[in-house]
Amino acid sequence: MLHNLAEHRRQIFTGLAILLLSGCALPPLADRPDSRSIPQSQTRETVLGQAITPKTDAHPGESGVVLLPDPFDAFAVRALLAEAAETSLDVQYYIWRPDTTGTLMLYTLYRAAERGVRVRLLLDDNGIAGMDDILAALSQHPSIEIRLFNPFVVRNPKWLGYFTDFRRLNYRMHNKSFTADNQATIIGGRNIADEYFGAGQGTLFADLDVLAIGPAVDEVSRDFDRYWDSSAAWPAQRILGEPESDAVAALGNLFSGAENSDAASVYVHALEDSGFLRKLLAGELTFSWAPVVMVSDDPAKVMGRNVKEDLLSRQLARALENPERSITLVSPYFIPRDAGVELFRKLEERGVEVRVLTNSLEANDVALVHAAYSKYRKPLLRSGVELWEMRRLDNDPPREQDLQSGMVGSSASSLHAKTFAVDGETLFVGSFNFDPRSIHLNTELGFVIESPELARALEREFDQQVRFTAYRVVLDEDGELRWLEQQEHRMVTYSHEPGTGPLKRMLVFFWSLMPIESLL
């Protein structure tokens, strides 16, 4: 213990010394290699192109989309795209962990690079803890280029950077996309880590991605280029330095160990049993065809140079203005602020039904966010909003059949999907949370899908599942909050946050008084 404390102090003093000597300066971006996404016209003859082009040619102007609520399917499709790619893989994520699924996914990228596929990996530097040595070794491969978005100068401990450069480092890239041969792409809410793919023993997330083919893919590729070429994207080698002499050998051992581990074997077996995977491999997967508009923030947002009209939140407002009947909104981190409450109040006055599903305190993995949200529950309910909070259901290792309906609820223990439907006509899926951080600080990415079929599917699933996976939040006759839980044969009413102790509730109350809402 004393040794660990001394090591921790040494790291802090070393970091402070680096800060003083470097002045927090990032290395220059001059002579950064230039690259662009490969045009779809040049990848039509790849395996993916030959499978996809006849479908897209039959639906001009529309994109084919498949929702991916199931975590095993979401992982399998990414792995299959990486294995099938022949020319390029463009991969962009906020969080990537070196756990079972994170390592397996890196291995699929490495195998693709070994076949000569160009791999471009763009990662937000705030979400790659413990990855520096791995990424430094991977970046040595001639077919792999890695860039870090808005990087930290001090690598260990990173948080020291906030003391001297908080304004810059507080802005992060929250986008998620996985694009193969510019023919197929996956966007949505999932990062790359066990909790997003139904693996491991800790908190598991109910999440939602979209697999897309057609014009939407080219939009995502152009957006990837915009981020890749931005002044916030640094070549990893200039930030991480040269890897240790045995780093490449260690990388091989890491991949071999992950592939042969008990955790991986259980997970791979579950993937092999996936009905979705069988349909995909057999070419029997059914796409929904619809106009799809990609919405995203300008990467300059992290430099504070964004134009308000270019913000994703403004693009969403323009794309989804003037709902007439209903809004069904699913967001794990929901802080509407006064402006959002007023918007919902006006919609309800016009006869628009507004329904919201977010995390309960017991399911929320960021209690500070819940503290900020909790102040708005009574105003929302007084405005007529129908409010639901997802329960923490269990922490048992998931089985595939338990996770098939993860769009608004599953055996996962925390909600992470970000989606909403308007008037049963339009569906949004992406990385955008309805909170100040997504609006003002993080960059985000998503699809606006003009599909009554998919929008109504979300509404139906909300109707069918939310009663059994979430608490209905209401006001009693005295205007006090109550939580209603539908159990098998009865309704249970709680007078305080269900599934939580008095200490946690007290801490959340005190946090709700702190002036930090704009940072959440």
Is 416 a residue of the active site?
yes
Q: Could you say which of 181, 209, 223, 297 is catalytic? A: 181
Is 55 a residue of the active site?
no
Written in H, E and C, the secondary structure of 411-451 is CCCEECCCEEEECCCEEEEECCCECHHHHHHCECEEEEECC
Contact 454, 208 (CB under 8 A): no
Length of the chain: 520
CA-to-CA dists, residue 360 to 241, 357, 461, 469, 499, angstroms: 43, 9, 19, 11, 9
Element (H, E) at 436: helix 436-436
Contact 188, 208 (CB under 8 A): yes
- CA dist 183 and 291 (Å) reads 17
Is 476 a residue of the active site?
no
Distance of CA 319 to the CA centre of its chain: 21
Which distant-in-sequence residues (6+ apart) come within 8 Å of 394 by Cβ?
411, 413
Is 73 a residue of the active site?
no
Q: Could you say which of 99, 297, 423, 435 is catalytic? A: 423
Is 496 a residue of the active site?
no
- CA dist 303 and 299 (Å) reads 8
Contact 358, 329 (CB under 8 A): no
Q: Could you say which of 73, 90, 158, 176 is catalytic? A: 176
Q: Could you say which of 158, 301, 370, 418 is catalytic? A: 418
- CA dist 387 and 334 (Å) reads 11
Q: Could you say which of 158, 174, 301, 370 is catalytic? A: 174
Q: Provide the pairing of β-strand 419-422 with 414-415.
A: unpaired
Q: Provide the pairing of β-strand 386-390 with 353-359.
A: parallel
Contact 150, 171 (CB under 8 A): yes
Is 396 a residue of the active site?
no
- CA dist 149 and 233 (Å) reads 4
Q: Could you say which of 223, 297, 416, 435 is catalytic? A: 416
* Residues with catalytic function: 174, 176, 181, 416, 418, 423
